[in-house]
Structure 1
């Protein structure tokens, strides 16, 4: 990842605390590299302790390829006079500050807003991106679905990229005259210092529920990770929290930022009320103004409220914001609707946590107009939090007439092992209405061909993803494409 201009090492270390430097600091740094195989003469190689490998093992390789400097927590056995070593307590934290300096502190010249929480991050960040473009600003987006600079789409591999890639993207956005950037802030990114060194204009908290315990180990650690984002916000920023979530107040206990709230249930800076909700749209009252929105569902009512609040906190006028918000559509794979010629409704949604699945199914329950069946197809990812698997199945059974348990992204686990764990959550009275179909394509066809006119099919878990991850290989698979095939087959039969 190259900068437009080489930097002198000493100029990159101003905010790095407690660094011990061995060798000259007036040397030129051409780029910052995490992968030792990509080191070139003049590179600064970062020895990062990751979850899979320890970068300290590759210091010798990086030095041999001509790295001018090494950032590390532990000095190697062999010290070379031609190389400068920067020893720090935490390589990831130091890398955040160094990357920001290397790319010219782009976040300080942008209005950067971060969105964190278990569910709703992608929708809120995407709605903000769409809204501010509609209001006439040039914008950037950093999300799970995709990174975007105005109309240019950049494939996203992580919810939040590493600090080098992140600052490079922000620098690109600034170079293309963006003024506002909206980004998802994952719990991983806080703990792993991917956002260290960035200056945020504001932070939004959506909600917090059961997720990522494979990484954080305890729910308390997960909460602390989310809270860490708000703890680090400057006095100049705003912290906008969903006060209906009982941990909303916890998030901002120690923040220096200006705290504001949004709610559907109690007094708040930004107060909303759902008047009516149908498959066609949602009628809401926001701060005593009635508006009709194209997006639907109570969960989206919260998302819209947070977007409205953030826009006003960024200085926009309420009337203009509500006008543009009323035209927005959901991001890909977020309660995305498809209709067959014989009036079956297919809904593809990214819901992959118990809370998200329950939100979507509760919305569908409220939208039902008569005796139509709800058929839910759901799976759980492999090598991820296993505790939620039986919960997901139990929730699907609670709200559905028929349930099909199937594969999601099994990764390196046996799909049948995952499904057996999900089956443990099926209540005995619901055994008859629950089927196990390991092949996801077959499962979607089964749901689509067995449905009757008027029925609603929910395909949950993968949403915007267009692949299945099986034993380290990502094979093309798109729920929306398969559902369209099924609907076409129904039409031709």
Structure 2
């Protein structure tokens, strides 16, 4: 148990009713989890307001309530703490409760529309290969050195983050690489953390269902850099025009990387093949198993970060040559009939375009590119016609299908994708609602040397419809479909 006054250190308090010199057991922002002597933080969410559950938390034994508005009836023996912002207060008390674990390791946050998972995961893998104890907090999983934990959000809640960081402290983790989403920044999930550095990969069309405007989306990302201390580093991709925006108000030491413009860290693609590409980095050549311009940027960000964290440059290059693709990121399989199937998480217009540009750059011109793609339900609708346009314009055949429809009608989502298809490309488009059938159809249409891209879900091993998740793995499905054609 912890003293309430100790975990309140640094919290801006507007009013206090009750005793802060009391022991508390745990912190919760979900009233259903509250037990005896716990602290309940009444966070206002997008769907529910924690203030509506204050009495329930008290009835369950809460010892203290942190809220933005004090309830009319204050129960004797319960401490009520009024704060300007419950999300900020939760971030600070969570960090204090776990002993500020982010200060005991080197935490690097990675933000941007695309590339976050690849950069964080490969930095984790590189530093593991270099012999360090390392942590990872990503879309795919959480790693506490060797121990793996599943995850369901790009940026977990602040209690979960600090819990994992505390576990990392216990086993002696020295470095941790963490994806930081715009949702997480907006909801103050990264607040109260001590970052050694932050990386900006790129910014493109995404999450406008949540942020409403691109400017708001960009400025939310920027807050990560605004909050960095002077001792930290800020590393940004300045081939993206928003890179310099991220640096405008940061106190951190500023560093840049680019393929096209002058920067502190630069790279050049010398050769491309399906099994990798030759990069020139810091006047040294590096063979990378990851292909495409987007992966050249990812590898450059990894190189720069490892250098800024003190690894020796030639050792970094050697370790980078051993890195392999992250699951669901340009993951490919070649069938006996020489049909290449590529599975990629590309779920934004920019990411889909980048993958198709990479594929088309590797073609000899005689192969057909067949793209299977859908769009998620209950998410940014404005990108659906854009995704439909890109897939139909840049492929010989496009098959529109279901992604994770969630609570929306898959047929309606597909119709909205079809709205972006220009008349001259209409004959190239098939719409098959069932994703399994869409993948099978692509495999039946493909001839020797053709390329199938299955985009949108990548590493996900499920499909979500009306709150129910069923097993579904794009890579497994396309591999089985191609193998069945050879039987």
- Scaled to the shorter chain, the TM-score interval is over 0.9
In the alignment, the residues of structure 2 paired with residue 153 and residue 367 of structure 1 have an alpha-carbon distance, to the nearest angstrom, of: 36
Matching of residue 344 in structure 1 with residue 339 in structure 2: yes
- Residue in 2 that maps onto 1:375: 370
Deviations 1:236-274 (A, max 9, x none): 000000010011000110000000000101111111000
- Residue in 2 that maps onto 1:208: 203
If the length of structure 2 is used for normalisation, what is the TM-score?
Answer: 0.99
- Residue in 2 that maps onto 1:228: 223
Matching of residue 366 in structure 1 with residue 366 in structure 2: no
Which of 427, 432, 450 aligns to 1:437? It is: 432
**Secondary structure of residue in 2 paired with 1:244:** coil
**Secondary structure of residue in 2 paired with 1:262:** strand
- Residue in 2 that maps onto 1:254: 249
- Residue in 2 that maps onto 1:456: 451
- Residue in 2 that maps onto 1:169: 164
In the alignment, the residues of structure 2 paired with residue 40 and residue 433 of structure 1 have an alpha-carbon distance, to the nearest angstrom, of: 59
Matching of residue 270 in structure 1 with residue 265 in structure 2: yes
Alpha-carbon shift at residue 117 of structure 1 (Å) = 0.3
**Secondary structure of residue in 1 paired with 2:381:** coil
Alpha-carbon shift at residue 370 of structure 1 (Å) = 3.6
Deviations 1:337-365 (A, max 9, x none): 11111111100000000000000000000
Alpha-carbon shift at residue 29 of structure 1 (Å) = 1.3
In the alignment, the residues of structure 2 paired with residue 481 and residue 139 of structure 1 have an alpha-carbon distance, to the nearest angstrom, of: 30
**Secondary structure of residue in 2 paired with 1:390:** helix
Alpha-carbon shift at residue 86 of structure 1 (Å) = 1.1
- Residue in 1 that maps onto 2:83: 88
Q: In 1, are the aligned partners of 2:461 and 2:474 still within 8 Å (CA)?
A: yes
Which of 286, 292, 295 aligns to 2:287? It is: 292
Q: In 1, are the aligned partners of 2:13 and 2:81 still within 8 Å (CA)?
A: no
- Residue in 2 that maps onto 1:308: 303
Alpha-carbon shift at residue 150 of structure 1 (Å) = 2.2
Alpha-carbon shift at residue 475 of structure 1 (Å) = 1.2
**Secondary structure of residue in 2 paired with 1:126:** helix
- Residue in 1 that maps onto 2:417: 422
**Secondary structure of residue in 2 paired with 1:387:** helix
Q: Following superposition of structure 1 onto structure 2, how do residues 110-259 of structure 1 map, counting pairs within 5 Å? A: 110-259=105-254
In the alignment, the residues of structure 1 paired with residue 122 and residue 472 of structure 2 have an alpha-carbon distance, to the nearest angstrom, of: 26
In the alignment, the residues of structure 2 paired with residue 397 and residue 324 of structure 1 have an alpha-carbon distance, to the nearest angstrom, of: 39
Q: In 1, are the aligned partners of 2:410 and 2:433 still within 8 Å (CA)?
A: yes
In the alignment, the residues of structure 2 paired with residue 269 and residue 29 of structure 1 have an alpha-carbon distance, to the nearest angstrom, of: 49
Task: Name the Cα RMSD after superposition.
Answer: 0.8
Which of 35, 57, 60 aligns to 2:55? It is: 60
Which of 329, 337, 340 aligns to 1:334? It is: 329
**Secondary structure of residue in 1 paired with 2:427:** coil
| Structure 1 stretches lacking a partner, 5+ long | 1-5
Deviations 1:14-71 (A, max 9, x none): 1112342210001111111122111111110111100111111111011011111111
**Secondary structure of residue in 2 paired with 1:443:** helix
Matching of residue 23 in structure 1 with residue 21 in structure 2: no
**Secondary structure of residue in 2 paired with 1:57:** helix
In the alignment, the residues of structure 2 paired with residue 439 and residue 39 of structure 1 have an alpha-carbon distance, to the nearest angstrom, of: 42
Q: In 1, are the aligned partners of 2:35 and 2:62 still within 8 Å (CA)?
A: yes
**Secondary structure of residue in 2 paired with 1:261:** strand
Moved over 4 A (4+): none
Deviations 1:422-474 (A, max 9, x none): 00111101111100000000000000122101110000000000111101111
- Residue in 2 that maps onto 1:470: 465
In the alignment, the residues of structure 1 paired with residue 465 and residue 299 of structure 2 have an alpha-carbon distance, to the nearest angstrom, of: 36
Which of 67, 70, 80 aligns to 2:65? It is: 70
- Residue in 1 that maps onto 2:481: 486
Q: In 1, are the aligned partners of 2:339 and 2:451 still within 8 Å (CA)?
A: yes
Alpha-carbon shift at residue 326 of structure 1 (Å) = 0.7
What is the count of residue pairs matched by the alignment?
Answer: 487
